[in-house]
Amino acid sequence: MTGWILKLSLSLLLISCSPATERPATPSKVVSKDSTIGSHNAKKDSLKEAKDFLENELKSLIDLKIINKKKSDKLAEILSAVKVEFLNPDGDRKEAFLIVHKEVASQIKSIFKEIADSGFVIDKIEPMSKYKWSDDSSMVYNNTSCFNYRLVSGTRSMSKHAYGLALDINPFWNPFVSGKRVSPKGAKYDPAKNGTIHRKALIYKIFIKNGWKWGGDWKPYQDYQHFFYDKIKVKTF
């Protein structure tokens, strides 16, 4: 018995003195310098693209004598071109620029992503310069837009569109309705159609929860295409 105990003790001693088996170290994720530079350059290119888009749109307003250079410079201080996502009628995910007030730029980008994720269809988003800044032409072609330096229709007051604080979404599917008058002409409001805005639509809920208001809630007329943000004070210039 004594010999057996002695052998067991020696065995335990040898085990305790044996070097522990080491696990191979998990290699850490290495971010290459080229990858970091590439990401930086892509961001820089994106910012330049947005800046160029805004400059070109403002220049077209000057060329058409809608604004002068001084007014263009002031608008450039408060506006930003933001690339937003949208789902077109074919179900394709697209991107396009909208010109908005700088203070709502990041919010608009987030809102449009959420709208696209919800499955809401937007027919098109094209530069207003393509329509020579004509609100009527843009509406007829169902073009979604934001900034447009113009008056409120039928008044002498500047529109919130002039400061990038109002959006017209799918205007031919979401017309302005006042009694029997419908604008744009030939438009029809059909809440059952995807791309139409109504109180049960997710797009309505998305804008409202972000502090925007809807022209479809107005009385006695309704502007179904129109969302606006009235929490930013702007000076007329």
User: How confident is residue 34, by pLDDT bands cut at 50, 70 and 90?
Assistant: low
Alpha-carbon distance of 156 to 82, in angstroms, equals 29
Alpha-carbon distance of 91 to 119, in angstroms, equals 8
The pLDDT tens digits of the residues spanning 22-33 come to 444 555 556 566
Alpha-carbon distance of 139 to 95, in angstroms, equals 20
pLDDT of residue 236: 77
Is the bond leading into 89 cis (omega within 30 degrees of zero)?
no
pLDDT higher than 50, residue 106: yes
Q: What is the mean pLDDT of the chain?
A: 88
| Residues sharing a CB contact under 8 Å with residue 18, sequence separation 6 or more, in sequence order | none
Half-sphere exposure of 181 (CA within 13 A, CB side): 7
The pLDDT tens digits of the residues spanning 192-208 come to 999 999 999 999 999 99
Domains of the chain, by residue range, sit at 38-228
